Structure 1
Amino acid sequence: MSITPLATAPAASRTAPLFRGRIGRDARSGHYAVPHRYRLHLSTACPDGLRLAVGHSLLELDTSCPVTFLPAVPDQPGGGHTALRPLYEASAHHHTGPALAPVLSDDWSGRIVSTHAPDILRDLDRFRHTGRARLHPQGLESVIEAVERMCAEGIEEAAQRAGSAGAGPAERAAALEVLLDTLGRLERRLTGEEYLAEDRLTAADIELWVTLVQLDTVHRCHLDATAVHRIADHRALWAYARRLTARPAFGRHLDLDGVARRHHGRCQGLEAAGAAVQILDWAGHAAEASNSSRR
């Protein structure tokens, strides 16, 4: 698969994680993959939390690594959760910052292993059941990393700049072209294909699906209607998003109300005409996933 990073886009700017412990292969690593030892704490209204929830479901880890779901809107200043405060205080002496999600905690010690979502998603592969496919298969690491960069820089950051009230017309137009170019490259890759890499579902698909959810439910609200119609014109890309949403591991974690409340609580931008042009019926396709999981 030929997917290369965008040379013109700035580096992704995510909040620096406070904890970056890793799950190792065996007991010599300190943190190693023991069933029932670790717990995820996340909100599916948050993109990182949604990525982890989907990956956790695909790997069928409900019993071996349970999840504590947090409210969509944090209850502490700075985006923190009161429920996570004991973990932060046990893990960082005199921690005064917000207790942010997501968190992978160690129930044996009562401390935090990691708050870095990409590492956590990679480490969940170590808990997978025998016979379950890996989300980060050997040989596809560079493809997954390239998709992650495209989503962060070519879609997420470009969409933010394209809809920024503080940017000038030329800057917004340039950002929109970066966004459309990235979507076009992914569109060509997905035409006639079910997944992004070697006809198998990987972490690259989780990354792109969550990014498309954000594009249509959050960033679209700050774009004009013409821009949204151009974005929606990538038929193979949105058909792919629709197919994944109809799968229980994806659609049942989609908290549209929570995403909207989180967005309205954080966003300072102005709503534009594109807010009225919904690309996908996310709720309808998520309902398909719910019905499918009950059969």
Structure 2
Amino acid sequence: MTATDSDAGAFQREPVGLDERITADGSSAWPVEAGRYRLVVARACPWANRSVIVRRLLGLEGAISMGIAGPLHDERSWHFHDDPDNRDPVLGIEWLGEAYRKADPDFDAGITVPAMVEVASGKVASNGFQQLTLDFSTQWTAFHREGAPDLYPEEHRAEIDEVMASIYEDVNNGVYRCGFATTQDAYEEAYRALFARLDALSERLATRRFLVGDTITEADVRLWVTLVRFDAVYHGHFKCNRQKLTEMPVLWAYSRDLFQTPGFGDTIDFAKIKQHYYGVHDTVNPSGVVPLGPDNSGWLTPHGREELGGRPFGDGTPPGPPLEAERVPPLA
């Protein structure tokens, strides 16, 4: 979550520094190969959460192992402070920045998650979060589980791309543009764009269960990772406070529908999400105090979205339970 502050006080996200692809056809320096890479994520980060969900829905756990950085970091980078000896058990590193500097000793851009790290060399192959999950769907097909859903169906890609572009600009990145704005004008512009887009998405989802077609696609994954964090951090911490998610009936029902779908809610750890945002963003929350709320029990209440039809996994099937080492605590 690196960024620069423009002269106008608007938050501007820095481009990722190692935006390479891992491909099946030899068109990049990094080939698709089972066991070659470790996906490093953090439970707190929405961009990383996208990769966790897609990896799980497609059944790539056997081909791509996963390391989980803790929720706290400082200028040294994300830290594996939840692992024994504060080190990733496969990569043997204490700070994710070590893998970035193995790839480039002079690396000075943002050290971000998700990151695909080559296990043998310890080098980051890619931190290109925008393309990574699409490549999970299109480049790693040889390792998809039986019954894996098509999250990026070719016949809907143009529409999915269009929907995702607006969600990224106004919602995914929009909450950050609210939270890190340093002038009133910049904040208000981002705030208005955010809620205008949420209103439009509410209207779109009022009569359809999913964003594109009648199945879950990449577009739903990308919207949901922001919505699931909305009341816990964005509403208060980032001043996105026109309404809570629980006060937007369509989006709240849509979010609960996905939360209760295997592969979504079972990737969420609200305690670590709050610990990260309130504990790391000291310019926004100088005290570092982490709030106790909100009450998360509503995520498991009936949503009624089945009445809209749709087939969550299309012709596929739900994923099995998470790996033991990757399970999150039950809702408190």
TM over 0.5: yes
Residue matched to 1:50:
49
Residue matched to 1:105:
117
Residue matched to 1:258:
272
Residue matched to 2:163:
147
Name the SS of the counterpart of 1:113 in structure 2.
strand
The unaligned stretches of length 5 or more in structure 2 are 1-9, 80-93, 303-319, 323-332
Partner amino acid, structure 2, of 1:77: E
CA distance, structure 2, for counterparts of residue 287 and residue 233 of structure 1: 15
1:1-295, aligned counterparts within 5 Å?
A: 13-27=12-26, 29-74=28-73, 76-77=74-75, 79-81=77-79, 82-95=94-107, 99-125=111-137, 126-127=139-140, 128-160=144-176, 166-168=182-184, 174-222=189-237, 227-228=242-243, 232-264=246-278, 265-269=280-284, 282=296, 285=299, 293=321
CA distance, structure 2, for counterparts of residue 247 and residue 258 of structure 1: 21
CA distance, structure 2, for counterparts of residue 215 and residue 223 of structure 1: 9
* Larger strand percent: 2
Partner amino acid, structure 2, of 1:155: V
Change (3 A) 1:27 1:160: closer
- Give 1:253 deviation, angstroms: 1.3
- Give 1:252 deviation, angstroms: 1.5
TM-score (normalizing by structure 1): 0.78
Question: 1:158-213: per-residue Cα shift (whole Å, max 9, x none)?
Answer: 44555678443x76555443222211211111113221111111110110101112
- Give 1:70 deviation, angstroms: 1.1
Change (3 A) 1:211 1:12: farther
CA distance, structure 2, for counterparts of residue 173 and residue 26 of structure 1: 46
The answer as to whether partners of 2:77 and 2:95 remain within 8 angstroms in 1 is no
Change (3 A) 1:33 1:282: farther
- State the 4+ residue runs in structure 1 displaced beyond 6 angstroms: 223-226
The unaligned stretches of length 5 or more in structure 1 are 1-10
Number of aligned positions between the proteins: 273
- Give 1:18 deviation, angstroms: 1.4
Q: Please, which moves more after superposition, 112-121 or 149-158?
A: 149-158
Question: 1:105-133: per-residue Cα shift (whole Å, max 9, x none)?
Answer: 22344322101111211111222235422
CA distance, structure 1, for counterparts of residue 101 and residue 190 of structure 2: 41
* Larger helix percent: 1
TM-score (normalizing by structure 2): 0.70
RMSD over aligned Cα, in angstroms?
3.4
Name the SS of the counterpart of 1:89 in structure 2.
helix
CA distance, structure 2, for counterparts of residue 25 and residue 46 of structure 1: 27
Change (3 A) 1:17 1:179: closer
Calculate percent identity across the aligned residue pairs.
Answer: 24
Name the SS of the counterpart of 1:101 in structure 2.
coil
